[in-house]
Chains A and B, each alone.
Chain A
Amino acid sequence: MPNCDKVTALVSASLDHSLPLHKRLAVRLHFLICVWCQRYLTQVRFLREAVREHPERLESAESPSSTALSPGARERIGQALRDDRR
Chain B
Amino acid sequence: MAGNLSDPQTWLEQHGDYLYRCAMLRVRDATVAEEMVQETFLAALQAKDRFAGQSSERSWLVGIMKHKVVDHFRKSVREQPVSDVELMNDEFTGLFDKDGHWKIETTGPKEWMDPSSALDKAQFWQVLRRCLDGLPPRTSRVFALREIDDMPSEEICAAMKLTKSNLWVMLHRARTHLRSCLEQNYQGLTT
Contact = CB atoms under 8 A, between A and B. Distances in A.
Contacts of A44: 175-176, 179
B25 A16 contact: no
A5 B91 CA distance: 13
Interface residues of B, number: 60
Contacts of A37: 102, 109
Contacts of B130: 63-64
B172 A4 contact: no
Interface of A: 3-6, 8-9, 12-13, 15-17, 36-37, 39-40, 42-44, 46-48, 50-52, 54-55, 57-70, 73-74, 76-78, 80-81, 84-85
Interface of B: 8-9, 11-12, 16-18, 20-22, 24-25, 30, 33-34, 37-38, 41-42, 45, 62, 95-96, 99-102, 104, 108-112, 115-116, 119, 122, 125-126, 128-130, 132-133, 146-150, 153, 167-168, 171-172, 175-176, 178-179, 182-183
Given A77-B38, A80-B42, 12 more contacts: A3-B101, A44-B179, A46-B116, A57-B119, A59-B62, A61-B21, A61-B126, A64-B133, A80-B38, A81-B8, A81-B12, A84-B42
